[in-house]
A and B are shown apart, each in its own frame.
Chain A
Amino acid sequence: MADRAIHPSTPVPQRTTVTALAPDAPAAVSLPVPAAPSAIRSYLSQRGSGALADRSFGAIMLLCACSIFAIVIFIASILVLRSRLSLTQFGLKFFTGQNWDPVSGDFGALPFIFGTLATSLVALCLAVPLALGVAIFITELCPKVLRAPISFLTELLAAIPSVVYGLWAVFVLVPIVRDQLGPWLAKYLGWTGFFGGTNFGVGLLTASIILAIMILPIISSLTRDMMTAVPTSQREAVLALGATRWEMIRIGVLRNARIGIVGAVILGLGRALGETMAVAMTIGNHPVISKSLFAPGYTLASAIANEFSEATGDLYLSALIEIGLALFLVTIVVNAIARVLVWAVTRGAPARVA
Chain B
Amino acid sequence: MSAQPNLPDLTPPVSSPARPPMNFGTRAMRVHFGYRKATNLLVGGLAILATVIVIAPLVAILIYLIYKGASSLNVAFFTRPPAPVGEQGGGMANSIFGSGVILTLASLMGIPVGIAAGVYLAEYGRGKLLGNAIRFTADVLNGVPSIVMGIAVYSLIVMQQKHFSAFAGGVALAIMMVPTVTRTTEEMLATVPHSIREAALGLGVPKWRTTISVALKTASPGIITGCMLAFARVAGETAPLLFTAFGNQFWSFKLNEPIGALPLQIYVYAISPYDEWHRLAWAGSLVLIVLIMVSVTLVRIFASRGVLKGGS
Say whether chain A's binding surface is mostly helix, strand, loop, or mixed.
helix
Question: Which residues 116-148 in A have Cβ within 8 Å of B in the complex?
Answer: 129-134, 136-138, 141
B113 interface residue (CB < 8 Å to A): yes
A61 interface residue (CB < 8 Å to B): yes
Contacts of A58 in B (CB 8 A): 120, 124, 207-208
B167 interface residue (CB < 8 Å to A): no
Interchain CB contact under 8 A, B206 and A54 = yes
B123 interface residue (CB < 8 Å to A): yes
Interchain CB contact under 8 A, A331 and B143 = yes
Total count of chain A residues near the partner, CB < 8 A? 99
Question: Which residues 195-218 in A have Cβ within 8 Å of B in the complex?
Answer: 213, 216
Interchain CB contact under 8 A, B134 and A69 = yes
Contacts of A161 in B (CB 8 A): 235-238, 263, 285, 288-289, 292
Interchain CB contact under 8 A, B60 and A339 = no
Partner of B40, one of A5, A245, A321: A245
| Chain A residue at minimum C-beta to C-beta distance from B159 | A82
Assembled-state Cα–Cα distance A65/B200 (Å): 25
Interchain CB contact under 8 A, A153 and B151 = no
Contacts of A165 in B (CB 8 A): 61
Contacts of B40 in A (CB 8 A): 244-247
How far apart are A113's CB and chain B's nearest CB, in angstroms?
15
B256 interface residue (CB < 8 Å to A): no
Question: Which residues 192-246 in B have Cβ within 8 Å of A in the complex?
Answer: 200, 203-209, 211, 213, 232, 235-239, 242-243, 246
Contacts of A159 in B (CB 8 A): 232, 236, 292-293, 296
Contacts of A61 in B (CB 8 A): 116-117, 119-120, 123-124
Assembled-state Cα–Cα distance A277/B149 (Å): 14
Q: Contacts A54-B206, A82-B155 given: A133-B64 contact, CB under 8 Å?
A: no
Interchain CB contact under 8 A, B204 and A40 = yes
How far apart are B42's CB and chain A's nearest CB, in angstroms?
8
How far apart are B194's CB and chain A's nearest CB, in angstroms?
17
Question: Which residues 172-231 in A have Cβ within 8 Å of B in the complex?
Answer: 172, 213, 216, 220-221, 225
Contacts of A110 in B (CB 8 A): none
How far apart are B32's CB and chain A's nearest CB, in angstroms?
11
Chain A CB within 10 Å, residue with most, of B120, B178, B235? B120
Say whether chain B's binding surface is mostly helix, strand, loop, or mixed.
helix
Partner of B37, one of A132, A168, A244, A328: A244
Assembled-state Cα–Cα distance A301/B243 (Å): 13
| Chain A residue at minimum C-beta to C-beta distance from B247 | A309
Assembled-state Cα–Cα distance A1/B212 (Å): 13
Chain B CB within 10 Å, residue with most, of A6, A132, A301? A301
How far apart are A325's CB and chain B's nearest CB, in angstroms?
8
Interchain CB contact under 8 A, A130 and B61 = no
- Sample of 16 A–B contacts (CB below 8 Å): A43-B204, A61-B116, A68-B179, A82-B155, A133-B50, A134-B54, A137-B47, A153-B58, A156-B293, A161-B263, A241-B3, A276-B238, A281-B267, A305-B147, A308-B243, A331-B145
> Interface of A with B (CB < 8 Å)?
1-2, 5-6, 40, 43-44, 50, 53-54, 57-58, 60-69, 71-72, 74-75, 78-79, 81-82, 129-134, 136-138, 141, 150, 152-154, 156-157, 159-168, 170-172, 213, 216, 220-221, 225, 241-247, 249, 251, 267, 270-271, 273-277, 281, 301, 304-305, 308-309, 320-321, 324, 327-328, 331-332, 334-336, 338-339
